């Protein structure tokens, strides 16, 4: 990836084709500067997409509803995911290894990460450089995102300057000096380039947690890194949760043998850090960071780390069970952790979980979100079937980002928001960020109600939440094909619901809730009514209703196709 995004070309003939070797992410526009006197004629200038450009309407998953704002939110989230993915193996090597050394075209600094890196405050470092054009750059006192003191050695004009940030554009020079007219340029040779490039994958440290510094196209290490500090401990728990969710959605059993031991190692390490009150304590503040890197490093008892651990446990138990492990120990750990979090980290004054022992008067948004996800406190928004809160969050946070009239509109969702609704985190923020696309999955999961009961949707359920909508419809891709759900209320408040079931699956269907009116009788084709009001599929035959009787709902469970009968 060409993170620096500044490229200079020598135009030495009348006609040439110039194609940048590296790929630019987060493309918004291109600016061309001519540095010499003269004219330049351009023809056939364009961009070669490195991402999937399939139209949203052609994607395997579909969601539509009676509220165009929610429909658009789902589409923008899908587009955001498209633009943050690329095909495996499609990117060129970031470094080019030659006989002379390693050619690093991008000028974005890469922080040095190790267990002793935080203590490197006074040292001397010598490294040879071969300058390809103009000069070279490096940072010192760098943070996790490469922001520090940026040193620019401009060989072209014999100067050297220091800046705050990660580029020369981030600040005026803190210091400036002239270089000698003649500067020695040396070559560097790497003894083992491949070994060097593979050192910094998303790899496991000796205690069991991970180092979240994987770069694009790096190979995974097969052995542990001999260190006991990681930059972002929360990401270790997140990785466990993500792999467990991947298994839940796909049923891909090939990952069980590989990932179950890793999940166990992370859990065993976290368990070894518990205090007598059964709360996780971060003994080294150097690893006490999460995704919100603008927060200070915090050690001791931190709510978000305890709840990230709880969520990882709750998500991974089914994965561990399916590989044949006894999960009694992990289930007990989860129960004890939930109880301790509720006993010690809940603030009656804040009516929320507080940040940490170091900041007991502050609410932690991550902790409270993770408490919901991990069922530590099952009361909020979609999870609690709280329609008003769901609509408020969607309409106040995501709806403005999807509005083409917004001055910061990009057609995608952003990484962070300020309180006034503008993009957060300053110039370094991304305006197309996969983390922000959560509502796309949630609208399918809750408004259509499609959820797996067993990994890979071998058993699944449809339990829609209506959100005061008059209709919703969609398609959710699963390994066996696609699940289709459509529900609609008539003007009289009567319900018609159609469910499409793929082959080789078992499903349970619930009526959408809340209903527009009480119903005393249901007519079901292709299913059997259960005592709890749900419907279990019995037949693969679809019988379309032809009329509507008062207070009667039609529930149609269809075989291997997706169709909508006439509107009531």
Residue pLDDT, tens place only, 445-498: 999 999 999 999 999 999 999 999 999 999 999 999 999 999 999 888 888 888
- Using the 8-state DSSP alphabet, how is residue 68 labeled? H
Query: What percentage of the chain carries pLDDT values higher than 90?
Result: 34
pLDDT average, residue stretch 7-27:
72
Lowest mean pLDDT among 249-258, 281-290, 310-319: 281-290
> What confidence score (pLDDT) does residue 118 get?
60
pLDDT-based confidence at 144, cuts 50/70/90? low
Lowest mean pLDDT among 88-102, 306-320, 382-396, 504-518: 88-102
pLDDT top residue among 13 and 437: 437
State both tokens at 62.
């579909």
Q: What is the mean pLDDT of the chain?
A: 79
Maximum average pLDDT range among 39-43, 82-86, 552-556: 82-86
Maximum average pLDDT range among 442-451, 499-508, 559-568: 442-451
The residue whose two tokens read 């408020």 is 392
> What confidence score (pLDDT) does residue 184 get?
45
State both tokens at 36.
């010499």
> What confidence score (pLDDT) does residue 191 get?
28
Contact (CB, 8 A) for 525 and 543: yes
Contact (CB, 8 A) for 393 and 417: no
pLDDT in tens, 373-421: 898 885 544 555 778 888 898 999 999 999 999 999 999 999 888 888 8
pLDDT in tens, 29-79: 778 888 778 887 888 777 777 788 889 989 999 999 999 999 999 999 999
> What confidence score (pLDDT) does residue 8 get?
74
Can you give the length of the chain in residues?
A: 568
pLDDT in tens, 88-116: 777 777 677 777 777 776 656 566 655 56
pLDDT average, residue stretch 299-324:
93
Task: Count the neighbouring beta carbons within 10 Å of the beta carbon of residue 190.
Answer: 15
Given a cut of 80, whether residue 227 has pLDDT beyond it is no
pLDDT in tens, 415-453: 888 888 899 877 778 899 988 999 999 999 999 999 999
Q: Is the dihedral of CA 312, 61, 28, 88 positive or negative?
A: positive
pLDDT-based confidence at 515, cuts 50/70/90? confident
Bridge partners of residue 472, in order along the sequence: 65, 487
Mode of pairing for the β-strands spanning 535-537 and 527-529: antiparallel
pLDDT in tens, 183-207: 544 333 232 323 332 333 346 777 8
Please give the torsion angle defined by the CA atoms of residues 400, 405, 406 and 409, in that order, rounded to the nearest 10 degrees: 100
**Domain at 233-383: CATH code:** 1.50.10.10
Domain spans of the chain, in order of start:
95-178, 233-383, 449-567
> What confidence score (pLDDT) does residue 90 get?
75
Given a cut of 60, whether residue 500 has pLDDT beyond it is yes
> What confidence score (pLDDT) does residue 1 get?
65
State both tokens at 44.
């056939």
Lowest mean pLDDT among 158-172, 384-398, 534-548: 534-548
Task: Count the neighbouring beta carbons within 10 Å of the beta carbon of residue 467.
Answer: 22
Separation CA 410–CA 398 (nearest Å): 13
Lowest mean pLDDT among 16-30, 131-145, 392-406, 540-554: 540-554
Contact (CB, 8 A) for 64 and 472: yes
pLDDT average, residue stretch 530-540:
63
Q: How far is CA 85 from CA 22, 26, 432, 434, in A?
A: 16, 11, 11, 9
Contact (CB, 8 A) for 388 and 380: no
Mode of pairing for the β-strands spanning 471-478 and 62-65: antiparallel
pLDDT-based confidence at 540, cuts 50/70/90? very low
Q: How far is CA 66 from CA 383, 391, 447, 482, 563, in A?
A: 22, 14, 12, 22, 18
Helix (H, G, I), strand (E, B) or coil at 93: coil
> What confidence score (pLDDT) does residue 468 get?
92
Given a cut of 50, whether residue 551 has pLDDT beyond it is no
Q: Radius of gyration of the chain from Cα atoms?
A: 28
Given a cut of 80, whether residue 331 has pLDDT beyond it is yes
> What confidence score (pLDDT) does residue 559 get?
44
Return the H-helix or E-strand segment holding 489.
strand 481-489
pLDDT average, residue stretch 304-311:
95
Q: Which residues contact 567 (CB under 8 A, 6 or more apart)?
A: 488, 490, 496
Contact (CB, 8 A) for 371 and 353: yes
Separation CA 3–CA 106 (nearest Å): 6
Separation CA 548–CA 497 (nearest Å): 13
pLDDT top residue among 195 and 516: 516
Please give the torsion angle defined by the CA atoms of residues 403, 405, 410 and 411, in that order, rounded to the nearest 10 degrees: 40
CATH topology of domain 449-567: Maltose phosphorylase, domain 3 (2.60.420)
> What confidence score (pLDDT) does residue 545 get?
36
């Amino acid at each position: 990836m060409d993170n620096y995004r500044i490229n200079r070309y020598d135009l030495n003939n009348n006609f040439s084709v110039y194609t940048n070797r590296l790929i630019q992410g987060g493309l918004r526009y291109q600016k061309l500067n001519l540095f010499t006197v003269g004219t330049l004629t351009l023809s056939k200038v364009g961009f070669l997409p490195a991402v999937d450009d399939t139209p949203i309407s052609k994607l395997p998953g579909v969601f539509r509803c009676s509220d165009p704002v929610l429909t658009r939110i789902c589409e923008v989230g899908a587009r955001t995911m498209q633009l943050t993915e690329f095909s495996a193996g499609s990117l060129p090597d970031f470094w080019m290894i030659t006989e002379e050394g390693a050619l690093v075209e991008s000028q974005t600094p890469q922080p040095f990460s190790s267990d002793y890196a935080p203590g490197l405050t006074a040292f001397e470092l010598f490294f040879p450089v071969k300058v390809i054009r103009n000069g070279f750059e490096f940072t010192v006192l760098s943070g996790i995102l490469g922001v520090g003191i940026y040193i620019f050695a401009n060989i072209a004009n014999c100067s050297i300057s220091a800046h705050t940030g990660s580029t020369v554009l981030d600040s005026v020079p803190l210091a400036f000096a002239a270089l000698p007219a003649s500067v020695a340029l040396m070559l560097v040779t790497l003894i083992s380039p491949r070994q060097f490039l593979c050192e910094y994958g998303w790899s496991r440290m000796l205690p069991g947690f991970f180092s979240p510094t994987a770069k694009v196209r790096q190979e995974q290490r097969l052995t542990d890194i001999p260190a006991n500090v990681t930059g972002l401990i929360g990401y270790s728990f997140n990785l466990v949760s993500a792999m467990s969710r991947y298994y839940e959605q796909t049923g891909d059993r090939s990952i069980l043998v590989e990932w179950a031991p890793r999940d166990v190692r992370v859990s065993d390490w976290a368990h070894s850090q518990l205090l007598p009150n059964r709360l996780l304590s971060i003994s080294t503040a150097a690893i006490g960071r999460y995704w919100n890197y603008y927060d200070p490093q915090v050690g001791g008892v931190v709510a978000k780390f305890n709840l990230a651990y709880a969520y990882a446990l709750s998500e991974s138990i089914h994965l561990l069970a399916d590989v044949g492990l006894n999960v009694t120990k992990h289930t007990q750990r989860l129960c004890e952790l939930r109880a301790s979090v509720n006993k010690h980290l809940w603030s009656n004054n804040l009516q929320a979980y507080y940040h940490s022992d170091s900041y007991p008067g502050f609410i932690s948004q991550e902790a409270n979100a993770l408490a919901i996800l991990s069922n530590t406190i099952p009361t909020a928004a979609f999870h609690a079937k709280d329609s008003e809160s769901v609509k408020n969050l969607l309409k106040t946070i995501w709806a403005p980002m999807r509005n083409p009239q917004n001055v910061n509109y990009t057609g995608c969702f952003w990484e962070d928001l300020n309180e006034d609704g503008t993009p957060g985190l300053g110039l370094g923020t991304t305006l197309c960020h996969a983390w922000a696309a959560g509502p796309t999955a949630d609208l399918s999961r809750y408004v259509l109600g499609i959820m797996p009961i067993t990994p890979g949707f071998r058993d699944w359920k449809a339990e829609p939440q209506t959100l005061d909508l008059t209709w919703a419809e969609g398609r959710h891709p699963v390994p066996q094909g696609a699940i289709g759900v459509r529900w609609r209320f008539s003007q009289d408040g009567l319900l018609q619901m159609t469910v499409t079931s793929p082959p080789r699956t078992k499903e349970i269907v619930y009526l959408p809730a809340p209903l527009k009116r009480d119903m005393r009788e249901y007519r079901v084709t292709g299913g059997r009514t259960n005592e709890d009001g749900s419907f279990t599929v019995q037949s693969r035959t679809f019988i379309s209703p032809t009329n509507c009787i008062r207070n009667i709902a039609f529930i149609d469970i269809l075989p291997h196709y997706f169709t909508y009968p006439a509107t009531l």
